[in-house]
Every structure is written in structure tokens, then in C-alpha cells.
Amino acid sequence: MPSERDLSASPPPPGSVPLIRGARVHGRSGLVDVYVRDGKVSALVPAGTGGAADSGTGRSADSGAGRAIDSGAGGAIDSLDARGGLVSRAFTEPHYHPDKAYSRSLAPAGARDGFERARLIKAGFTVEDVTERATRALRLAASGGVTRLRANVDVDSVSGLRGLYGVLAARERVAHLMDVEIVAFPQEGLARDPGTRDLLAEALRSGASLIGGWPNVEDGAEAQRASVRETFDLAERFGVGVDIHADCAIDPAETMLEYIAEETVRRGYQGRVVASHCCGLEVYDDTDAARVVAAVAEADVRIVVVPLNLVDGGPRGLSRPLELTAAGALVAAGSDNMNDGWYALGTLDPLDRARMTFLGAGFEDEGAVDLAWEMVSGRAAAVLGGRDGDIEVGADADLVLFDAPDRGTVLAGLPGTRTTFRRGRLVGRRVTDARLGNRTAHPAARGAAG
């Protein structure tokens, strides 16, 4: 637990006004004031000790958000009175497909399964259509407190680069709300869809920053291993990281995760590979599972589980997050799909992800609430190569303020308010009321709900 002295690298400048007054920080007793300068957290001090913090000005968390402090601006600016609510670093969405968002209604009748339904839908994509739908989805995520998101975008002979160009445009529209990095994802496979190879290279030249893969869709074990090697070949050619779908079915015959870990070590790519889903691992026998978990941890392959999705009536699975974490692997929870050919539901709310991970993966021990929280917050950021942990002096002032006092109360799903700051500027406010449902109440998140 941090001490009083640990909180602030230096006291706030005389006469400065905190962005947030009287908040709780996880793992610390007492209330703190949060100061921001140049978009960074500049000081965390015990409430009322920073000079201007006890002036009595500012607005309470339940009566309006006030104005976010513009770092470097002079003059008195309203601050937000947290009234003992929890302030946390903002959330990270480590695995989502925004090109497909809100496309469920576009599905023609008669699809045999999710794979065919998704293919038929994306055959009709246009850049403009993807841009509008993806923008709507990214704004929804932002309204829940997400300020960093990794987007998997289909690149294949069915949709070409239309999804990529659409999501690139959507990324520009939400740049004030979040950072978005794009994975070029060959959902149709490489050997099964040879035209994808040239398109992936073009995608990496056109704005995608990582190469994706899905080896399990190839025919036979050797073709699947070849797909993994080819994914790494592209990564090395373009000097990018790997974000690969692995073993998406709850089936012990799905065994690519171990091979991905081995290839990661062979290529010297430790710390640069994310493997998502990893559901086969969940149903391996314990001896095989222990071997694969050890290989993943040794290779520093980061894992993203997807706790919310169902496909054609069956669960995706949650892998083995507790065993992976105990072995030293970084594990996060992602959303994957929302209202598209694969999954009809979804909210892009990080608290939904955390809650379902807690329930579905059997998180019962002391510290389980914190682990579930970190899998959508600091640990999710670390999976993507960012900083682990909670609020920290010197870090970006991407923050979420709740009117509940602690993580457990927030995850219990009680109605309440969350207010999101991006680089110290207020960008969204979501009010959840048992009578009204979710509502957003800030122009930055306009259009996000519904």
C-alpha cells in the first residue's frame, strides 16, 4: 500500500486547483486530490492539503461534471468534487472487431454458422458504412471509460481493405477520446484464401500497426503451423508485433497456442506477441495444460480471454486465467464482437468484461476482484505493451471517476455514475440508473448509447 509520501513526486504549484477533489484511490486509506498538468497526473496529495484544494469551489460528482482543467491555462477553473468516490486509471479494450460493429441486421437469411454469416455480411461492406458503424462503437466504448483500444480488422479477399480504411477513418473521428491501434486480421486464413497475403502487406503499409492471424482455420496441423510461421514472417518483414487468434473453440484438438509460444522464442519475439481466445487450453488435461501454460509464460506471450461471447449456442471459454497469471503470464479480458455476425449482444463496457471474467473463471480467492479489475485496466494496458498498475504521478491523466467508493461496489453492478477524463479533459459521463438504464451525458460521447 502506498504511503502518504509515495503519492506525489512534488507538491502542486501554489494556487493550483485539483482536477478531482476528495477521491479514493485503490489501496490507500483516506481521500486524495488529483492534480493535472500538460495532460499528465502532476500530483496526488491528501485531500485539502494542496493549497487551493480546500477552497470549497468546484462541483460535486452527482450534480454535474464541471469543466475539466486545461493544463497550463491560468485562472480559477472548476474542479470536480468526488465526494469519496473511487478514481481509477481509465480502461483498455485489448481485443475488439469494430469493422463488424452493428452489422447483425445486415446478415442475409440462411447462413449455416457464424463464419458464413460474418462472411456474407462483410461482402457488402463499404468504407463509409464501416466508418459510421465503427465510430458509433468506439464512442460507446469511450462512454464506459475506455481510452485505449486494439482493433482487429478483417483483411481478406472478401472485404479487401474496405474494413481497414473505414476503421482508419473512425480512428480519426475518436482521436480525442482514445488511442486506437489496428491489427490486420486474415479471418479467412492464408492457405485457404491466398489473395489475403498481398492485402495484408498493403494493410501494413496503409496504417495497420500489427499483423494478425488465425491458424486454426487452415486444413490440417501442418497447414496451421505454416500459417503461424507465415504470420511471423510478415511481422519480421514489417517490424511489427503479432496479435493472433488461437484455439478459439473449446476443443482439446485446438493446439496452436503451444506452437505459437515455441515460434515466439525461435523468432526472439518475446513480449511482442498477443494470443487471444486460447480456449483449447481450458479443456486440456491438467498435465498438458501445465506444460502449455509454462511455455506461454516462458515466451512472454500475452493472453486475452473473451468472456462474453457465445457462438452458435456454445460458449467461447475463458482459457485458464488463474493458472496463467500464477505462472507469470500477462492476461487481459477483451470484448471480441458486438452485434455482428458472430455475436448478437455486447456493450463494450469494461465492467461487463471484468464481471463476467470474475464469475466465469471461478475467481473466489482474496484479491480476485482486483485481478478482474486489472484485466480490463492496468494489466490490459500491459498486455498491449503499456504501463501496468493504477494512477501514477507522471502518467497520462486518463481517469475514470465513480460515485461508488471501491472496486467491489462498482463491479457489483449497482446503479451509479462514471466520469471519464482523457489527458485531463472531461470527455464522457455515463449514468446508470435502475429505472432508466445507461445514459451518456456529454457531447464527446454523443451517439454512443443505443
Say yes or no: 75 and 170 in one domain. Answer: no
Say yes or no: 135 and 30 in one domain. Answer: no
Q: Of the residues 352, 383, 414, which one is the last residue of a structural domain?
A: 383
Q: Show the 3-state SS of the chain.
A: CCCCCCCCCCCCCCCCCCCEEEEECCCCCCCEEEEEECCEEEEEEECCCCCHHHCCCCEECCCCCCCCCCCCCCCCCCCEECCCCEEEECEEEEEECHHHCCCHHHCCCCCCCHHHHHHHHHCCCCHHHHHHHHHHHHHHHHHCCEEEEEEEEECECCCECHHHHHHHHHHHHCCCCCEEEEEEECCCCCCCCCCHHHHHHHHHHHCCCEEEECHHHCCCHHHHHHHHHHHHHHHHHHCCEEEEEECCCCCCCCCHHHHHHHHHHHHCCCCCEEEEECCHHHHCCHHHHHHHHHHHHHHCCEEEECCCCEECCEECCCCCHHHHHHCCCCEEECCECCCCCCCCCCCCCHHHHHHHHHHHCCCCCCCHHHHHHHCCCHHHHHHCCCCCCCCCCCCECCEEEECCCCHHHHHCCCCEEEEEEECCEEEEEEEEECCCEEEECCHHHCCCCC
Say yes or no: 267 and 394 in one domain. Answer: no
Say yes or no: 37 and 176 in one domain. Answer: no
Instruction: Per-residue pLDDT tens, the chain, 450 aa: give them.
Output: 444 434 545 678 776 889 999 999 999 889 999 999 999 999 999 998 875 434 333 444 443 333 333 333 333 347 899 999 999 999 999 999 999 999 998 888 877 777 888 888 999 999 999 999 999 999 999 999 999 999 999 999 999 999 999 999 999 999 999 999 999 999 999 999 999 999 999 999 999 999 999 999 999 999 999 999 999 999 999 999 999 999 998 899 999 999 999 999 999 999 999 999 999 999 999 999 999 999 999 999 999 999 987 655 555 678 999 999 999 999 999 999 999 888 888 899 999 999 999 988 888 877 899 999 999 999 999 999 999 999 999 999 999 999 999 999 999 987 789 999 999 999 999 887 755 556 655 445 443 332
Say yes or no: 197 and 305 in one domain. Answer: yes
Say yes or no: 176 and 39 in one domain. Answer: no
Say yes or no: 352 and 437 in one domain. Answer: no
CATH of the domain at 408: 2.30.40.10
Q: Of the residues 363, 383, 403, which one is the last residue of a structural domain?
A: 383
Say yes or no: 227 and 95 in one domain. Answer: yes
Say yes or no: 369 and 425 in one domain. Answer: no
Q: Of the residues 348, 365, 383, which one is the last residue of a structural domain?
A: 383
Q: Does 13 fall in a domain?
A: no
Q: Does 183 fall in a domain?
A: yes
Say yes or no: 357 and 407 in one domain. Answer: no
Q: Does 1 fall in a domain?
A: no
Say yes or no: 180 and 321 in one domain. Answer: yes
Say yes or no: 224 and 199 in one domain. Answer: yes
Q: Does 343 fall in a domain?
A: yes
Residue 40 sits in which domain range?
Answer: 20-89+390-445
Number of domains in the chain: 2
